[in-house]
Structure 1
């Protein structure tokens, strides 16, 4: 089966709910598992699917948030590695805003016990930091979003406009060279814009699956960042383009076992 035909078969099969296994794709296409893994890598880079351990799944539709528990389970080892690197960018006695999301929660866990002042935009991160002595933990006023425990509403933006911090640890649902940084809800984008304005240094922590994707609500340009922390298996050409925008790219070794 030719490459283009295989890709059509793979995309059509993966578009069904759940995870499509590599062995099922080898049976459908008649090629080796090595070839299927290469196809999946190409299709993931193009944004058509997401590789998982031993298979692939479809990409969520633009603007559709995934459940927090699902996102927290994805790329768990990579997020832990990224959290270590991101936490090292925050010095003792600095002030920091910690965005909502599972990767930022992992960073908060690494910062726990450190003498910092942190405004957390989700209760998940606040609990990580507040569970150990050391950090001064602040949360803005406002409703708490179900599932993500993110703080929402005009009170969050107001609180962010009234502070100035050394750094912000940001998450993003998507990072596109043409569309910038974006998220899946208007409220989240508003919070991120205010957090960026309040911070001297802007640090985005993201797994490679967020690169080369587009979400609905744009909140910044890539060039607004100072540092991007990701893993070494991120597409090289995208990282080169990000560096050309003046952003320092910090990569950590990619955990083994993907695909």
Structure 2
């Protein structure tokens, strides 16, 4: 890789961090960029996962006031996230790369469509709020496990899935958004450890993309209230669908 490649990757990671803070979906631009720069789809996926890990810390810190009285729930959900993230990560590393090449266009397309319907899900969940549930239903743990398996395997638009599942299970959208940040961080940490030891990670890209992603997340949070999210969301979705089509014909 050249210095120009590293510069391009860090610039896109910065933009991805900004996008994650404003609308979500940063992975949909950083992952294909790493592929375009010469990484295989699996190395690009694991490198992307590790590079964006610092951004999840900011999300948890930002919601710290919402975690009062949620310690027991967060521990239970975190255990599920560790198990799901582990299964997804191991699945990625133990199945043939050709299998991931086959399924990745579908995953990118699904992630893009989920990002497109996120406002509808959020609106529906706001209308359905009926007060905080005292007990978490069993189906919620099953759904969280499956979601974090997906997060360990690919992870694009994982936050959208988690908000939808948690919103229905907890009955409070604001709480769901806060808990989502913790589950995302735990899942990302699992992938960081597993991929860091066992995957073909491009550490040079991680070195420039991780701090750029963190900075982008910070800057995005500062300007989130000033930038209209709808046009940005449309742009990301269109780009994601285009990437899915491109990958479909390339792999």
TM-score (norm 1): 0.29
Which one has a bigger Cα radius of gyration? Answer: 1
Q: Which has the higher helix share?
A: 2
TM-score (norm 2): 0.30
